[in-house]
């Protein structure tokens, strides 16, 4: 009997291990292939023609790619900066002050997280068009509209992360600071801010990643001559695939992984109790 049970457990373990392996293969095989073929010296994607760095060189020399990359980076930096400031302020006001309609604001703030990208994209497009119709403000589609749209969806993510941090921080700490002669600003500067900083940094890296990754919304609000890297890649595919895409994708992948790792490190730092 005992032998049987052991046998059974052995089988179960074997099946589970196999399952784990399959899952990881399913996840990472495409990524491995992408990276592999980005070094392939062949015009066709998916055929190995020997090792080369040509595609990375092409990535460095292609003006359109370079332009898209620079737009992507500038949009990401500016939208992150704006959404971190606005998102942190939203989190502070919702968490620290009780005012009429508090809960409605609360719910509204989280809406962009669950709204489908396409809906959000159409909303932003209509919004920019009606700016012209209603108040006569002409907004050229391009860098500004992309940045504003990214701010619009990033705020929610930043404020969620910051609020989680704030919720774990006792309000008494701010009172203690004020009791020890700190003005409201000093209490924020020396007590609140350092304690929620990991949340703010985490939120910022999240916003940066989201901005760098976004295709759908950006595509709706981008104008001629100002397109971000993911949108450019998406366009490239339609014109016929070249291994250049692989190289671009690998670079983006590496950047994303780096950001996620940084974000985790930031949240782990001083991750101890804040109460």
Partner 1 sequence: MTAAVEITGVTKRFDDVVAVDDIDLTIADGEFFAMLGPSGCGKTTTLRMIAGLEFPTEGSLQIFGEEVGTLPPNKRPVNTVFQNYALFPHMNLLENVGFGLKMKGVAKQEATQRALAAIELVQLGGMEKRRPNQLSGGQQQRVALARALVNEPKVLLLDEPLGALDLKLRQEMQGELKSLQRDLGVSFVFVTHDQEEALTMSDRIAVMDQGKLLQVGTPEEIYERPANRFVADFIGQTNLLEGTVADAMTVVLENGTRVAAASDHAAGTKVALSLRPERAKLAPRDIAPSDGAGIDGTVAGITYLGNALVYRVALDWMEVEVRDENRPNADRLTAGDAVRVTWEPGAVAVVAE
Residues that bind partner 1 (CB under 8 A): 170, 172-173, 175-184, 186, 190-191, 194-195, 270, 272-275
**Helices 143-167, 102-114: inter-axial angle, 10-degree rounding:** 120
Q: What minimum distance in Å lies between the beta carbon of 179 and partner 1?
A: 5
203, 84 Cβ separation under 8 angstroms: yes
- Is the CB of 42 or the CB of 175 nearer to partner 1? 175
- Is the CB of 132 or the CB of 175 nearer to partner 1? 175
- Is the CB of 42 or the CB of 179 nearer to partner 1? 179
> Closest Cα partner for 188 from 173, 203, 168?
173
Q: Which helix (H) or strand (E) holds 182?
A: none
Q: What minimum distance in Å lies between the beta carbon of 195 and partner 1?
A: 6
Distance CA 67, CA 23 (A): 37
Distance CA 69, CA 63 (A): 10
Q: What minimum distance in Å lies between the beta carbon of 199 and partner 1?
A: 13
Q: What minimum distance in Å lies between the beta carbon of 268 and partner 1?
A: 15
Q: What minimum distance in Å lies between the beta carbon of 12 and partner 1?
A: 42
Angle at 265 between CA 259 and CA 268, to 5 degrees: 140
Angle at 188 between CA 183 and CA 194, to 5 degrees: 140
Tokens found for residue 198: 């990991």
- Is the CB of 56 or the CB of 188 nearer to partner 1? 188
- Is the CB of 36 or the CB of 274 nearer to partner 1? 274
53, 39 Cβ separation under 8 angstroms: yes
- Is the CB of 7 or the CB of 102 nearer to partner 1? 102
Distance CA 267, CA 234 (A): 33
Q: What minimum distance in Å lies between the beta carbon of 263 and partner 1?
A: 20
φ, ψ of residue 40 to 5 degrees: the values are -90, 130
């Amino acid at each position: 009997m005992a032998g049987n049970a052991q046998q059974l457990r052995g089988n179960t373990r074997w099946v589970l291990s196999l399952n784990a392996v399959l899952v990881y293969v399913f996840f990472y095989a495409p990524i491995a292939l992408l990276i592999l073929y980005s070094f392939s010296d062949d015009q066709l994607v998916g055929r190995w023609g020997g090792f080369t760095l040509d595609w990375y060189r092409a990535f460095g020399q292609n003006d359109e790619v370079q332009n898209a990359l620079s737009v992507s980076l500038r949009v990401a930096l500016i939208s992150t900066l704006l959404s971190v400031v606005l998102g942190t302020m939203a989190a502070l006001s919702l968490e620290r002050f009780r005012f009429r309609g508090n809960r409605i604001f609360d719910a509204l703030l989280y809406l962009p997280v669950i709204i489908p990208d396409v809906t959000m994209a159409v909303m932003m497009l209509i919004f920019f068009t009606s700016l012209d119709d209603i108040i006569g403000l002409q907004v050229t589609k391009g860098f500004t509209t992309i940045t504003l749209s990214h701010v619009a969806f990033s705020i929610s993510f930043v404020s969620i992360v910051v609020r989680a941090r704030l919720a774990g921080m006792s309000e008494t700490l701010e009172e203690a600071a004020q009791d020890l002669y700190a003005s409201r600003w000093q209490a924020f500067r020396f007590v609140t801010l350092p304690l929620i900083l990991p949340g703010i940094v985490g939120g910022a890296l999240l916003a940066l990643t989201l901005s760098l990754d976004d295709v759908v919304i950006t595509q709706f609000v981008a104008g001629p001559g100002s397109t971000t890297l993911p949108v450019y890649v998406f366009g490239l595919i339609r014109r016929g695939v070249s291994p250049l895409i692989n190289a671009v994708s690998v670079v983006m992948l590496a950047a994303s992984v780096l950001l996620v790792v940084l974000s985790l490190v930031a949240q782990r730092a001083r991750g101890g109790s804040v109460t």
